[in-house]
Amino acid sequence: MPKRVPKPPKMTECELKKIFKVEGVKSARWIVRPVKGMDTTPEAGSIRCKHCYGPVRFYKQKFLDGPVDHVEHVHRVDSESCEAGQHFKGKHSRSATPVL
């Protein structure tokens, strides 16, 4: 029986909320960032899916042969309706609970 090879995670990038100072005024902006290399677990509400803007959970690689750093949707409904979702059902739409 052949060994089952797990699928690599799809969501290796996410949007991260960063504070920028523009002309002396602080403002928050969303930037696309690779998940690999994030040192610490980001706060809830500071990261989101770059495709549907839904909340995501951060996963750090634990073993050399384990899945790489990635994010996954918090809500299954978002995963089913997002093109990057693990459970995508074929029609992309925005999250019902976007992180703004």
pLDDT digits (tens, 9 = 90+) for 19-33: 999 899 999 999 999
Has residue 100 been placed in a domain? no
Within-domain flag for 68:
yes
d(CA 45, CA 54): 10
pLDDT of residue 68: 86
Q: Is residue 31 part of a domain?
A: yes
CA atoms within 13 A on the CB side of 39: 0
Q: Residue 35 is part of which domain span? A: 13-81
55 within a domain of the structure (yes/no) = yes
Q: Over the chain, what is the mean pLDDT?
A: 87
pLDDT higher than threshold 70 for residue 7 = no
Instruction: Specify if 76 maps to a domain.
Output: yes
Helix H segments across 1-100? 76-81
Q: State the pLDDT at residue 1.
A: 60
Q: What is the pTM of this model?
A: 0.82
- Residue 99 in any domain: the answer is no
